[in-house]
Amino acid sequence: MRADSPALYALAGLGLLETNQPRLRQMIEELAEEAGAAGQPTAPCEALLAALPEESGVLEKEYVRLFLDPTGAPCPLWQSAYGQPRQLMGDAHFAALEWYRRYGLQTRHSNEPADHAAYLLMFYGRLLEDGADADTLRQFSEEHLQWMAPLLTKIGEETRLEFYRELAGLLTSLLEGAGVGKGGEGGEPGAGGVQNAGDAENTG
């Protein structure tokens, strides 16, 4: 797996966002074609394509179950959900906004968390393609990719679809390429108490 395939990071990230099967298929196919023409390995894309379910709606159902279920999805995709306290739009959201902003970008939907795993991966791909230096890449990956390691493990365990297992595996490899350790700390999305505004001991 080429660690510096920006498109692959973005694509893998999109795998955590896109639920429209035909569209996803087309994107993977297009990338495979491009990789082939550039003499790069096409195996990751082909593996994803092979794992993509045929029947419509299957992907979407599993996506909702894994990531969005309001009764308690096992694998929320926002970095803030893994912080203290466990709530959305936390520090990671603001930090991500600042990263995007520094590069002249912002998310289109400002009322949604900016620290979605897919967004962070797509942005990392953008950093790679733009030739960001090693320090920048390392800093972003420590701040905004590292946390995904246990999430990916969980996805692999929880999912009933080969596609998401394959995707989690691809992402784990990509993250290793970005210098992120496997499995690791971070643990479960935490259960935090109500924070006393007067005492900021627990925030960074």
Partner 1 sequence: MLTRRSMLRLAGAAGGSLLGSTRLAKAFEEVFQAAELPAGMRTVATACGICDSVCGVQAVLQDGVLRFLGGLPGDTNGGGGGLCAKGGAGIGLVYDPDRLKYPMKRTNPEKGIGVDPGWERITWTEALDTIAARFSNAISQYGAESLLVISRPSPDVWMRLLNALGVANRVDHLDECYLTSRILQRYCTGPMSWAHDFGNSKYVLLFGWDLLAKGKLVFARGIVEAKANGAKVVCFNPQYSATARFADEWYPIRPGSDLAVALAMIHVLLEENLYNQEFVANYTNFPEYEAAIRANFAPYTPEWAELQSDVPATAIRRLAREFGTMGPAIVPIHKKTLAANYTNASQLVHAILILNILAGTIDRPGGRYEARKISIPAVDAVYPRPAYPPKTGRRVDSKDRLPLVLEDGGGMFSTLADGMLTKYPGMIQAAFIMQYTMLGFPDPLRITEALKTVPFLAVYDFLPNDVAAMADIVLPGTTYLEVNDLLAREYSAKYPVVMSRRAVVPAMFEAKSIGYLAIELGKRLAPDYFKTPDGSWINPGVLLDEKTRRAGIANSFAEFPPSGLWERPEPFVPRTTFGTASGKCQIYVPQFVAKGYDPLPVWKEKRERPTAQYPYYFLTYIPAVQRRNTTENNPILTEMLPVNVANMNAALARGLGIREGDLVRLRSRTGSITLAAHLVETLRPDAVLVAHGYGQRSKLMRVAWGRGERDSDLIADQTVEEMVAAGNFAGSAGIMEAVVAIERVQDGGSEA
Partner 2 sequence: MSYGWLFDPKLCIECRGCEAACKQWNGVQTLINVRWRQVYEKETVGYPTPALQVLSLSCNHCEKAWCAMACPVKAIKRRPDGIVYIDHDVCVGCQFCAKFCPYPPRPQFNAVKRKMEKCHMCYDRIDQGLQPACAANCPTGALKWGKWEDISSQGEGMVEGFTDPKHTRPHIRFITQGW
102 touches partner 2 (CB under 8 A): yes
Interacting span for partner 1 (CB under 8 A) from 22-30, 77-85, 139-147, 178-186 = 22-30
69 touches partner 1 (CB under 8 A): no
Interacting span for partner 2 (CB under 8 A) from 56-64, 98-106, 147-155, 185-193 = 98-106
Give the residues across from 78 on adjacent strands. 116
**47: its two tokens:** 């593996």
Are 12 and 119 within 8 A, CB to CB?
A: no
Cis peptide before 85 (omega within 30 of 0): yes
16 touches partner 1 (CB under 8 A): no
- Please count the CA atoms within 13 angstroms of the CA of 54 that sit on its side-chain side: 0
Residue whose tokens read 């990789």: 35
| Nearer of residues 104 and 187 to partner 1, judged by Cβ | 104
**3-state SS class at 118:** helix
| Nearer of residues 156 and 177 to partner 1, judged by Cβ | 177
Which residues neighbour 105 within 8 Å (Cβ) at sequence distance 6 or greater? Answer: 123, 126
Interacting span for partner 2 (CB under 8 A) from 63-71, 95-103, 125-133, 147-155 = 95-103
Rg (CA), the chain: 17
Interacting span for partner 2 (CB under 8 A) from 11-19, 38-46, 92-100, 146-154 = 92-100
Distance CA 167, CA 189 (A): 21
17 touches partner 1 (CB under 8 A): yes
Distance CA 85, CA 37 (A): 47
User: Minimum distance between the CB of residue 111 and partner 2, rounded to whole angstroms?
Assistant: 12
193 touches partner 2 (CB under 8 A): no
Distance CA 41, CA 140 (A): 26
Task: Kindly list the residues in this chain that would bind partner 2 in the complex (CB under 8 A).
Answer: 89-91, 94-95, 97-98, 100-102, 106, 195, 197-201, 203-204
Task: Kindly list the residues in this chain that would bind partner 1 in the complex (CB under 8 A).
Answer: 6-7, 10-11, 14, 17-18, 23, 26-27, 30-31, 33-34, 37, 100-101, 103-108, 118-119, 122-123, 125-126, 129-131
